[in-house]
Structure 1
Amino acid sequence: MCSCYGRPVPTTLAPARPARDVRDAAPRRRTRILSLPEPRWAAAALTLFLVALPLDLLGTPAWTWGPLYALTYVAGGWEPGWAGLRALRDRTLDVDLLMVVAALGAAAIGQVLDGALLIVIFATSGALEAVATARTADSVRGLLDLAPATATRLRPGGDEETVPATALAVGDVVLVRPGERIGADGRVLHGAGYVDQATITGEPLPVAKQPGDDVFAGTLNGTGALRVRVEREPSETVIARIVAMVEEASRTKAPTQLFIEKVEQRYSVGMVAATVLIFAVPLLFGADLQSALLRAMTFMIVASPCAVVLATMPPLLSAMANAGRHGVLVKSAVVMERLGQVDAVALDKTGTLTEGSPQVTDVRPLGGSGLDEDDVLRLAAAAEHPSEHPLARAVVEAARSRGLDLPDADDFAATPGSGVTARVDGHVVAVGSPGRLTGQAHPAAVEATRLEAEGRTVVLVVVDGAPAGVLGISDRLRDEASAAVRALHRLTGAAPVLVTGDNAAAAGRLAERVGITDVRAGLLPQDKVRAVRELERAGRRVLVVGDGVNDAPALAAAHAGVAMGRAGSDLALETADAVVVRDELSTIPAVVGLSRRARRLVIQNLVIAGTFIAALVTWDLVGHLPLPLGVAGHEGSTVLVGLNGLRLLRESAWRGARRQASASW
């Protein structure tokens, strides 16, 4: 593999670490340039060269500058040379070793100055790559500095204790005073204030927080003391998950990178063979040894594929790190490349386009019951209060939002698929499916049918055996759902498809609201997979977005799968290729746009690298390319493609991707 200073070109952001060690108590500092070995050796080689050069040019005796040049060779070339020998022992041809051989060859034919210059430029290139890699790692690990080392935990009696943030456990309650950073992901129990979330969400203004709202580790509490219940382990916070997943993903390689590495060894062997021919053939036709050797060594340098190998991973890893900072965890470089290739999107309904939390939208008393809306809702909520069913929780929440007092329920009984019964205020109250409780011919079915036609889930309330009212329940559409659908349509050139297990009426009504025309409702998990396969047979590369266990097969079958992190099931989160941590649909088109920008940078880098190699090789073969100029061109192109890829680390890259995706919002 092409490497600089004996280490592979940067394809990882940081060494692998156990999940629970992703955040240490001690703050991290930005990597100091001279703390890296490559810049230190490069600085030493450059210093020795700059001392020897004027002595050489002034014509002083060789003993004054010769040892300095020799030390330059040692300082700048020992590490890549030694690494190249180790690679050769493993039957791998390391191009860096060839660079060192070329420098020694130049010295052997009297071109000591040119060889030393090659070593210095080569060492400087390796140092710049090392610094660029360190800066990439710093940008990701720097997120961990945001999380405080300690937190104020409240004991059951109300006493305070200062503990390491890593010691917090789910269920603990922490006190966050004004001006402090929040030590864990959790939910506000008491207090209100404004929290600066710019470091996590990118929102420029502080966000109002009150009881029930989520907060994230590392964000800054501006005003008001907050009591926060911890809801994630320290190793599972948004910040820690971003770092852990990006570091894990950075050890994977995209298909483009794998292809390049596959042909690299063959290319290197061919390059060595060509170098031998370029050296030997002119000798057969009478060329002098020195000029033939110099031309061959120059060819070997400029034809090296270092820049080509470095073209792929920096853009993809930078895009992954940037997406992670904005709450989209991409699990591998393969996924980041695939996200930019999708040209069709299949969206789940509940928990994806909707919030996954049912809400009572209609309360309709039935004639003859003598009850008004509040009476019907109060009795239904009292009966449903002991139930854990999501619809029951929606009914109870609706009653509480109206300020209704709920009486105690006795003789509670729940029948799966039918509903619940309980005795409330001396009345027998039954809440459940209209068809199962009353039969399809009952007059209450008319009201139920009307609500179902509007896309509602219908619940019938029966008091003492007589229908008393009908409740309409629906899942709330996410605020950004329509905009995200339009953005994905624009990016992929095809309207998204709705794939859901919900009934056709509810699915159709929601699809109409968000602008989806292709609706596939009433699907079982295997039906969703079949829908994905159908799109693939039509030549599409499908992105599936879902959250539930029933979405996992489709997520696995798709070209790329994205799970909603907050509402998503464990199986969906494990199966998906990427996770939207905060359930923000708007980040999905943004990360697709970012992936496409990364792929464009990869192509740019390959063009830059190929152009430099072709131009320099042609110059060397048909003309006379000076060795120092060849070295500068080769190493300069390597550094250029590396820095070009790192552009995607900047905040402006994410904003640009969002602007591209939101052009039609």
Structure 2
Amino acid sequence: MSSSALTERPAPPAAPPRPDTAPRRRTRVLSLPEARWAAVATVLFLIALPLQLTGAPAWAWGPLYALAYATGGWEPAWAGLRALKEKTLDVDLLMIVAALGAAAVGQVMDGALLIVIFATSGALEALATARTADSVRGLLDLAPATATRLLDDGTEESVPTGELTVGDTILIRPGERIGADGRVLDGASEVDQATITGEPLPVAKEVGDEVFAGTLNGTGALRVKVERDASDSVIARIVAMVEEASETKATTQLFIEKVEQRYSIGMVIATLAVFAVPLAFGAALTGSLLRAMTFMIVASPCAVVLATMPPLLSAIANAGRHGVLVKSAVVMERLGQVDAVALDKTGTLTEGTPRITDTRPLPGSGLTEDELLALAAAAEHPSEHPLARAVVEAARARGLALAVAEDFNSVPGVGVSATVEGRVVTVGAPERVHGGTSRPEAGGGREGAASEIAAELEERGRTAVLVEVDGVPVGVLGIADRLRPDAAATVAALTGLTGRTPVLLTGDNPRAAAAVAAEVGIGEVRAGLLPQGKVAAVKEREADGRRVLVVGDGVNDAPALAAAHIGVAMGRAGSDLALETADAVIVRDELATVPAVVALSRRARSFVVQNLVIASLFITALVVWDLVATLPLPLGVLGHEGSTVIVGLNGLRLLREAAWTKARGQGLPPTHDPL
């Protein structure tokens, strides 16, 4: 059974449309009327069957069977005719033809039973498939319909949450659900964030902390400033990206559908042979026709086609509920294939919120510490880089006034420049901003002094930032970042999953990079890299046959994220370019979810294999039974539809919370540990 029309994400580009000639059943959206028709057909059949078996006249049970045909078969027949109009051979239509053929040769009860089983199994299958999307879309129901907005005059008004805009202030009373993503302006409370993070314990929230729509406030009252529109909230993004992912085909799915086209042609030819050959040797018409129709049904590859998508989409939905947005089924499948990992440092292994630790004006610059910091902050103000934000926040913390920057220019991996009060201020890495002259061997003067200070700071694990005015060094800033609490555990888990220790790729200086690498257990470090250097390091590993997973957050990581087998971006501190380029996004910046989603992908891949085995065994057994012995048509339909439903339900097991819990605690691939 094939999934609905699927499209690829922008990178890689979508496959061009192709003719689809394979017999298929389109996944039907289960509506309440359709369920009622299936139920009516079943009731009519159950009334007609005992009448026939007890010897009642045909006029008593015949019309009941006819109504069962009509009520249970009109919808798949209509769907099959629409597909035929599009030059697609639909299994729905083939099933209806088989049922009518059975009635034509006097097997009215068998045909009616086929219709009932087919309609009922189709309804159950559609319901099972819809659970994947429903489990995620149900998150939207967690957000309250209304919120209490505080007006400038201090009054309150109740408004639909969809009307809240960025900058609004809302009041969340004890026990209420939070209506929008935002930041706490006043108050303190504990918030249950299980709907977003999956963590069972409430999280303390106070002034400055971020809160999310749909999470449940505890005993305190909070005033929250709205920072995202309703359509851009974490919950809405999860839903949108999972729904988008559900419209893509995994590589395995594409391969199956390619094989399916050729298989279907062979199946149609074989069906004709199963009917014609016995007939040519004197077999009865009725028996030959029933055998051929049964063969056509049991040989149909519905369960094989359905084997791939339910496990992958269930894994996508489960990951989405826990703050990992996987952008497509292709990505979910590829995540389980990675065997090498490259990690960025700032904003990935570290929290991405560095702070100024040293402010060192150079002798002869005539600047105080505050003046140096104010100049650097003015130039960095338009930048979105974490180091730039650290400079600006440090200046604001000291209450410094920042001049307006003009002619701002940013070169990823190098630094920024801007005109501040008529002077060109440049801020960036010492060895790059000044064309390589800011080194100890460059001689004395300010260049030499800047190099000595930078070397001293880097020896202490700081990131040194050189500040120049009109091309002349005037000072050096020292910046340090805090390591994420789960960084070391994540590195260990990724090592267990891939069989090799991740490599650290960073534009930072070698000393600071080595200090972080030693702390988290990384042995190989590539420091001082420009964006193209990170890409080269990734391609070097892929040239050795590795499938590389890159985790990063900044603009300078975007090329490497695009070049890798899989790119994962940190969502909270990540740049817009990195988020757009990455294949998956870690919404809550919980680094430990990276190995968890890799383990979940491997489990999904194992479920795909299980499904293919189940489907193949059913098809083989039923086909052999039909060819060697006599397989009753209704029993063939029951086996065919049953295998399809079993395969779908098996994949949906990955929706369970236990699947994520096991994946998160997994340090090794869980392919031999089924749920």
Bin for the TM-score computed over the shorter chain: 0.7 to 0.9
TM-score with structure 1 setting the length: 0.85
Counterpart for residue 429 of structure 1 = none
Contact 2:602–2:669 at 8 Å: present in 1 too? no
CA distance in 2, matches of 1:601, 1:459: 50
Counterpart for residue 551 of structure 1 = 557
Counterpart for residue 261 of structure 1 = 257
The amino acid across from 1:247 in the alignment is E
Contact 1:340–1:592 at 8 Å: present in 2 too? yes
Is residue 111 of structure 2 the alignment partner of residue 115 of structure 1? Answer: yes
Is residue 324 of structure 2 the alignment partner of residue 324 of structure 1? Answer: no
Is residue 502 of structure 2 the alignment partner of residue 496 of structure 1? Answer: yes
The amino acid across from 1:531 in the alignment is A
For residue 529 of structure 1, the aligned residue among 532, 535, 557 is 535
Counterpart for residue 486 of structure 2 = 480
Please, what is the CA RMSD of the aligned residues? 3.2
Is residue 72 of structure 2 the alignment partner of residue 65 of structure 1? Answer: no
Residues 128-167 of structure 1 correspond to what in structure 2 (within 5 A)? Answer: 128-167=124-163
Counterpart for residue 353 of structure 1 = 349
Is residue 283 of structure 2 the alignment partner of residue 274 of structure 1? Answer: no
Counterpart for residue 417 of structure 1 = 426
Counterpart for residue 622 of structure 1 = 628
Tell me the secondary structure at the aligned position of residue 356 of structure 1: coil
For residue 603 of structure 2, the aligned residue among 590, 594, 597 is 597
CA distance in 2, matches of 1:207, 1:228: 16
The amino acid across from 2:56 in the alignment is T
CA distance in 2, matches of 1:206, 1:407: 37
Shift in Å, 1:284: 1.8
Deviates more, 1:127-136 or 1:319-328: 127-136
Tell me the secondary structure at the aligned position of residue 147 of structure 2: strand
Deviates more, 1:640-649 or 1:391-400: 391-400
Shift in Å, 1:43: 0.5
Contact 1:378–1:406 at 8 Å: present in 2 too? no
Contact 1:543–1:562 at 8 Å: present in 2 too? yes
Distance 1:499 1:418, change over 3 A: closer
Shift in Å, 1:482: 1.2
- Which whole-Å deviations, capped at 9, do the CAs of 1:195-238 have from their partners, x for residues lacking one? 11111111111100011111101111102111111111111100
Distance 1:386 1:160, change over 3 A: farther
Contact 1:92–1:265 at 8 Å: present in 2 too? no
Distance 1:410 1:581, change over 3 A: closer
Tell me the secondary structure at the aligned position of residue 153 of structure 1: strand
The amino acid across from 1:39 in the alignment is A
Structure 1 residue runs of 4 or more that deviate by more than 3 Å after TM superposition: 8-12, 360-367, 376-401, 405-415, 433-438, 444-448, 458-462, 467-472, 661-664
Distance 1:660 1:460, change over 3 A: closer
Contact 1:153–1:172 at 8 Å: present in 2 too? yes
Is residue 90 of structure 2 the alignment partner of residue 85 of structure 1? Answer: no
CA distance in 1, matches of 2:574, 2:510: 23
Distance 1:394 1:537, change over 3 A: closer
Is residue 282 of structure 2 the alignment partner of residue 286 of structure 1? Answer: yes
Contact 1:302–1:634 at 8 Å: present in 2 too? yes
For residue 439 of structure 1, the aligned residue among 421, 446, 470 is 446
CA distance in 1, matches of 2:123, 2:152: 54
Counterpart for residue 10 of structure 2 = none
Deviates more, 1:202-211 or 1:504-513: 504-513
- Which whole-Å deviations, capped at 9, do the CAs of 1:632-664 have from their partners, x for residues lacking one? 111110100011111111111111111214899
Contact 2:427–2:465 at 8 Å: present in 1 too? no
The amino acid across from 1:273 in the alignment is I
CA distance in 1, matches of 2:362, 2:533: 39
For residue 72 of structure 2, the aligned residue among 62, 71, 76 is 76
Counterpart for residue 594 of structure 2 = 588
Shift in Å, 1:266: 2.7
Residues 31-46 of structure 1 correspond to what in structure 2 (within 5 A)? Answer: 35-46=31-42
CA distance in 2, matches of 1:160, 1:219: 21
Distance 1:501 1:117, change over 3 A: same
Distance 1:615 1:396, change over 3 A: closer
Contact 2:377–2:395 at 8 Å: present in 1 too? no
Distance 1:445 1:542, change over 3 A: closer
Unaligned runs of 5+ in 2: 8-28, 405-419, 429-437, 671-675
CA distance in 1, matches of 2:464, 2:234: 37
CA distance in 1, matches of 2:566, 2:305: 25
CA distance in 1, matches of 2:532, 2:475: 37
CA distance in 1, matches of 2:461, 2:304: 55
Counterpart for residue 646 of structure 1 = 652
- Which whole-Å deviations, capped at 9, do the CAs of 1:253-303 have from their partners, x for residues lacking one? 112112222232332222121111111111222222222222212111111
The amino acid across from 2:446 in the alignment is G
Is residue 579 of structure 2 the alignment partner of residue 570 of structure 1? Answer: no
Shift in Å, 1:181: 1.0
Counterpart for residue 309 of structure 1 = 305
Distance 1:399 1:536, change over 3 A: closer
Deviates more, 1:444-453 or 1:46-55: 444-453
Contact 2:376–2:427 at 8 Å: present in 1 too? no
What is the aligned residue count?
610
- Which whole-Å deviations, capped at 9, do the CAs of 1:288-343 have from their partners, x for residues lacking one? 22222222121111111111111111111111111111111111111111111111
CA distance in 2, matches of 1:36, 1:330: 31
CA distance in 2, matches of 1:137, 1:406: 50
Shift in Å, 1:364: 9.6
Shift in Å, 1:349: 1.4
Distance 1:661 1:155, change over 3 A: farther
Shift in Å, 1:243: 0.8
Shift in Å, 1:588: 1.0
Deviates more, 1:269-278 or 1:204-213: 269-278
CA distance in 2, matches of 1:235, 1:410: 35
CA distance in 2, matches of 1:606, 1:292: 30
Shift in Å, 1:614: 0.3
Contact 2:454–2:476 at 8 Å: present in 1 too? yes
CA distance in 2, matches of 1:410, 1:580: 35
Shift in Å, 1:379: 8.1
CA distance in 2, matches of 1:579, 1:409: 34
The amino acid across from 1:334 in the alignment is V
- Which whole-Å deviations, capped at 9, do the CAs of 1:379-423 have from their partners, x for residues lacking one? 87678776655668646867998xxx768899996752369xxxx
Shift in Å, 1:157: 3.0
Tell me the secondary structure at the aligned position of residue 417 of structure 1: strand
Identity of aligned residues (%): 73
Shift in Å, 1:626: 2.1
Tell me the secondary structure at the aligned position of residue 554 of structure 1: helix
For residue 202 of structure 2, the aligned residue among 206, 215, 238 is 206
Distance 1:393 1:112, change over 3 A: closer
Contact 2:325–2:586 at 8 Å: present in 1 too? yes
The amino acid across from 1:523 in the alignment is L
Tell me the secondary structure at the aligned position of residue 74 of structure 1: helix
Is residue 638 of structure 2 the alignment partner of residue 632 of structure 1? Answer: yes
CA distance in 1, matches of 2:278, 2:153: 90
The amino acid across from 1:492 in the alignment is T
Distance 1:570 1:398, change over 3 A: closer
CA distance in 1, matches of 2:45, 2:399: 86
Counterpart for residue 22 of structure 2 = none
CA distance in 1, matches of 2:242, 2:167: 28
Distance 1:550 1:386, change over 3 A: closer
- Which whole-Å deviations, capped at 9, do the CAs of 1:104-150 have from their partners, x for residues lacking one? 11112221111111111111110101211332222111100111111
Unaligned runs of 5+ in 1: 13-32, 368-375, 420-432
